[in-house]
Chains A and B, each alone.
Chain A
Amino acid sequence: MIPASFDYIRPSTVEDAVNALSEAGDEGKVLAGGQSLLPVLRLRMAAPALLIDLGGLPQLRGVRTEDDTLVIGAMTTHATLASHPLVVEGAPLLAQAAATVGDRQVRHRGTIGGSLAHADPAGDLPTVAVALDALIVLAGMDGRRTVAAKDFFTDLFTTALRPDELVVEVRVPKLDGWGVHYAKLNRTAQAWATVAVAAAVRRDNGSIVEAKVALTNMGPTPVRASAVESAIANGEGVDAAASHAAEGASPTSDTTASAEFRSHLATVLTRRALTAASAL
């Protein structure tokens, strides 16, 4: 279908973008990769008067390291994340998850900033951001501020972003020596995750002593599987720890799967992710 008509600007500075967004208010919408926004516009389920295209901001693309942190520009695409040597080395969990998003075409347009701002419960990158305790840098009329991933995703498709703010950067602490794995079950290769598990484990003497685990599509926001993490910290084995995966989660029932099945999958995929991550 054809979207309703809109004005379009492509600012060349972040400041211009923020100003435009602030001025437009309700009638403005940021365009990053467009992979989630354009279908909504085409189905006429929104009709913003102004689209602010961030594609003219190369300063928001790219990956670099700062000490133990991987710094990723918001407009970096999933395809880049999946293959960039700094990401593959410094945050392999992110690279793995990015490689599973949609299909090649989607990955070459979709961006990390867009994915986090959109906050789809079935999205892969928000989960990884939560698992890795990433920091999300926002820019607005009041300047820049940083929000921890766990505080960023507040509800269904809802984040801590204020109406005049953009995601400009994502800062991911490196986990040197940790093993990682992103286990995703989807009905077809391009489909969203029915459920997915992001796992990072620290090993000592052949067993897992610490784990960071987060779940995709087990609630309105990414779910940190703290019960699993505690069990691991208490010395429980992978099977026992994984059995706690669905605790505290509130999965939904939809045409893809029931909540019951999702909860079951969470335990199975957590076990598999932990096992694969530790490559035991």
Chain B
Amino acid sequence: MTATMEPALEVGKARLRKEDARLLTGRTKWTENIVLPGMLHLAILRSPHAHARIARIDVSAAKAADNVVTAFTGADVAETQGVLACAWPVTEDIVMPMYTPLAVTEVRHVGEPVAVVVARDRASAADALELIEVDYEPLPVVLDMEAALAEDSALVHADSGTNRCYTWVFDAEAAGAGGAMPQEAEVVIKRRYVQQRLIPSFMEPRSVVVDPTGDEITLYSATQIPHILRFLLAATTGTPEHKIRVVAPDVGGGFGGKIGATPEEWIAFCAAKMLGRPVKYTESRSETMVSAHHGRDVIQDLTLYANRDGTVTGLDVKLIANMGAYLGLITPGVPLLGAFMYNGIYKFPAYRFECSGVFTNTTKTDAYRGAGRPEATYGIERIMDELAVEVGLDPVEVRRLNWIKHEEFPFSTVAGLVYDSGNYEAATDKALQILGYDELRNEQATRRVNQDKVQLGIGISTYTEMCGIAPSRILGALRFAAGGWESASIRMLPTGKVEVMTGTSPHGQGHETAWSQIVADQLGVPFDDVEVLHGDTRTSVKGLDTYGSRSLAVGGIALVMACEKVREKAQKVAAHLLECSPDDLEFSDGAFRVSGTPEASKTIADCSAAVFVAHNIPDGMEPTLDSEATFDPSTFSFPHGTHLCATDVDTETGEVSIRRYVAVDDVGKVINPLIVEGQVHGGVAQGIAQALFEEAVYDAEGNLLTGSFADYTLPSAFDLPDIISDRTETPATSNPLGVKGVGEAGTIASTPAVVNAIVDALRPLGVNDVPMPCTPERVWRAVREASS
């Protein structure tokens, strides 16, 4: 019955974003801007020790201080503070320690909250913190992952008896997705790579306001997951779910770092309920550094088996992943999201993956842009370059030899996934051409002959990633506690305007714009007539929020489904008004038209008005065009692409300068090219940052040495190259929009492209690796060690 539609008018357009005017000028309400009558301010005392027993804690002086309303410790709220849940117990025998918002008897990482002051103003709260007395008895600090796994290691959680959280294995042979791992091979390459610990550096620090006055308790938070938070608060604090409202106002960036049930949110919730007054907590950046979860921190041991001609016969991956001191919402599962991606775009006959999670006395790790897939792409793309050198092939050629050919899609990979579509040839050829690959290779050769102090390197990264999180059944099979569907509902207003309630929770992705573009085409309404509502569980009541590059690939489809339902109902109304059969109607140019008599038409707005007054609508039809749809994807989506990076490496100082960076990405059908380019730029910036700049460093006592942006080296625009972004478009076959998702692709692809380029530049000097971040000193040392 589907009415035919005109070619899209809005989808594909480089529309300026609706949200930018208010976001870029600050004329919006961030969580920190919320002011409520009688609101109080929290300050949190945090542990200076990485591991210690709390021998004595006394808040009485703080309680008596000026403008302080109360102060409390973990012991004071042991019964009411709730617990912080982990939603992903990846194995049956996983060790899941108790994790409370406020520490009660023991602290296990620097920055862990131990006490709270509630005061009338923020300064008084901060002053009163100084009056809290705590006597700590230091305990042995566990920092090194491999040492933590040793028999005689001190324990992070004494009653667990071990620091090993879990061991998870995927064996392609056992899963029926591949053959036996070769016992021997003409070429065997073993490499260890270290994914250094990163700190998600969203621009807006985390902030929470809880308002317990009124019929329900409202939590406003700079979060990526308002819907999930509502459920978790109900499940862990005893407050009934229907009495909780969670609102994510405009949120200034997340990158995965704001996916979490945080101690601060739970503490604020507890304090507000205790006092019956609104409370606010906004952290300072130095608190973000120790309390917001960290990313990556994985040791990778890879073994690649291949024939002398460069065809790979097997890949074995062993990871040791740092959980930190506690398990956050998806901490144990993050490395496993990469489990299915180490084989990348290649046809490997054999594959095995094993990961052990380890506790240490550090801030917990959890999702950070890419969450498991950047690590996987780094591992495989680095080792493929090693293979190229070993067998004497150009790195592009060794990839061509092993990748899935365009005509071979859909393809069942050795990791058990089915890639629906891809065209690695097209993306690669385009990238090589845009980069000017041959000229750069010529220049490289010349510099090598001349033994230039500055060498040129070219790095390639051919990637695919799995996103559009996720088919619920697969999540269940992986023991993830929730599903992966997404929801949208549409309200047609009497005047023809459209309200969209989406279950996604954007924090910079531009959903208001892209969803408006989709709805405009689907319903034939002007772009500006569409209002997209999100982030408030009272308004967009149903959803699973935004992460894992899922919003368009899952949420966008739910939106299309909801639009189709609206069109179906409207078609019946239009037919009734035009006194014809619904089958006689075509939907074109924003209206239902009788085939053959195009002047006889009714727009959706006409139908909406008609339904509102309900004076003349089909018998028995409910007087509404509104709809709701929930979509559960049947598969992941697989964006892919080729990134090429040309770097100049100063062998005297170790400085690396990216001369040219080309990204050719295939994200399927493009809704808004500006948004896609913005995502690629930002993603690549963060990937380059891991390659060259960022690293969270702990000292032997467990102090975070990179505790502010003075020491945690975050690049600015001055440190990054122009990113040349282009695309191929191979529509996904797994959804009606043909979209794949792009939020993380840039980060996933870029890190190995940069490091491959640095290593490529230094190969003639005998270097085959530079550990990340590739600081000047590390580059210099790599050159020195190779020559000694």
Task: State the A residues within 8 Å of B (CB).
Answer: 1-2, 4-5, 39, 42-44, 103, 185, 187-191, 194, 255, 257-258, 261, 264-265, 268-269
Contacts and interface: CB of A to CB of B under 8 A. Distances in A.
Contacts of B776: 185, 187, 194, 257, 261, 265
B122 A261 contact: no
B142 to A, nearest CB: 21
Contacts of B287: 1
Contacts of B775: 187, 257
B722 interface: no
B780 A261 contact: yes
Interface string B39-83: 000000000000000000000000000000000000000000000
Contacts of B716: 103, 188-190
B632 interface: no
Contacts of A264: 780
A191 B713 contact: yes
B99 interface: no
Interface of B: 122-123, 126-127, 130, 284, 286-287, 652-655, 693, 697, 705-706, 708, 710-711, 713-716, 718-719, 775-777, 780-781
Contacts of B705: 255
A103 B220 CA distance: 34
B203 to A, nearest CB: 16
A248 B652 CA distance: 22
Nearest to A264: B780
Contacts of B706: 255
B713 A258 contact: no
B693 A5 contact: no
A258 B654 CA distance: 13
B713 A2 contact: no
A39 B780 CA distance: 33
B121 to A, nearest CB: 10
A2 B653 contact: no
Given A5-B127, A187-B693, A188-B719, A257 B713 contact: no
Contacts of A185: 653, 655, 776
A257 B122 contact: no
B777 A43 contact: no
A43 B708 CA distance: 11
B652 A268 contact: yes
Contacts of B714: 188
A1 B713 contact: no
A239 B484 CA distance: 64
A1 B127 contact: no
B777 A1 contact: no
A191 B665 CA distance: 33
21 contacts: A1-B126, A1-B287, A2-B122, A4-B127, A39-B708, A43-B286, A187-B775, A188-B716, A189-B715, A189-B716, A189-B718, A190-B716, A194-B776, A255-B697, A255-B706, A257-B777, A261-B654, A264-B780, A265-B776, A268-B652, A268-B653
Nearest to B715: A188
Nearest to B705: A255
Contacts, number: 58
Contact of B284 (A1, A5, A257): A1
A75 B26 CA distance: 32
Contacts of A191: 713
Contacts of B653: 185, 265, 268-269
A194 B775 CA distance: 11
Q: Sorted from nearest, which 9 A-B pairs have the closest CB atoms?
A: A189-B718, A261-B777, A2-B126, A1-B284, A268-B652, A188-B719, A2-B123, A257-B777, A187-B713
A257 B711 CA distance: 12
Given A2-B122, A265-B776, 17 more contacts: A1-B126, A1-B284, A2-B123, A2-B126, A4-B127, A39-B710, A43-B286, A103-B716, A185-B655, A188-B718, A188-B719, A189-B715, A190-B718, A255-B697, A255-B706, A255-B711, A261-B780
A5 B719 contact: no
A194 B710 CA distance: 13
Q: Which of A44, A190, A258 is most buried by chain B, counting CB atoms within 10 A of its CB?
A: A190
Given A1-B284, A4-B127, A268-B652, A188 B713 contact: yes
Given A1-B286, A261-B777, A261-B780, A188 B652 contact: no
Nearest to A261: B777
Given A43-B286, A188-B715, A258 B777 contact: yes
Nearest to A47: B130
A39 B286 CA distance: 11
Contacts of B708: 39
A134 B103 CA distance: 55
Contacts of B122: 2
A1 B285 CA distance: 8
Contacts of B654: 261
Contacts of A189: 715-716, 718-719
A5 to B, nearest CB: 7
A157 to B, nearest CB: 15
Contacts of A188: 693, 713-716, 718-719
Nearest to A271: B652
B58 to A, nearest CB: 20
Nearest to B43: A2
B155 to A, nearest CB: 28
Contacts of B123: 2, 5
Contacts of A258: 777
Nearest to A2: B126
Q: Which of A2, A4, A269 is most buried by chain B, counting CB atoms within 10 A of its CB?
A: A2
Nearest to B695: A255
A34 to B, nearest CB: 15
A101 B714 CA distance: 17
Contacts of A103: 716
A43 B126 CA distance: 11
B281 to A, nearest CB: 13
A74 to B, nearest CB: 24
Q: Which of B122, B286, B653 is most buried by chain A, counting CB atoms within 10 A of its CB?
A: B653
Nearest to B652: A268
Nearest to B284: A1
A73 to B, nearest CB: 28
A261 to B, nearest CB: 4
Contacts of B780: 261, 264
Contacts of A255: 697, 705-706, 711
A194 B711 CA distance: 12
B48 to A, nearest CB: 13
A2 B286 CA distance: 12
B685 to A, nearest CB: 12
A194 B654 CA distance: 12
A161 B241 CA distance: 64
Contacts of B284: 1, 42
A190 B715 CA distance: 9
Contacts of A44: 126, 130
A5 B65 CA distance: 14
Contacts of B652: 268
A185 B779 CA distance: 14
A148 to B, nearest CB: 31
A225 B727 CA distance: 53
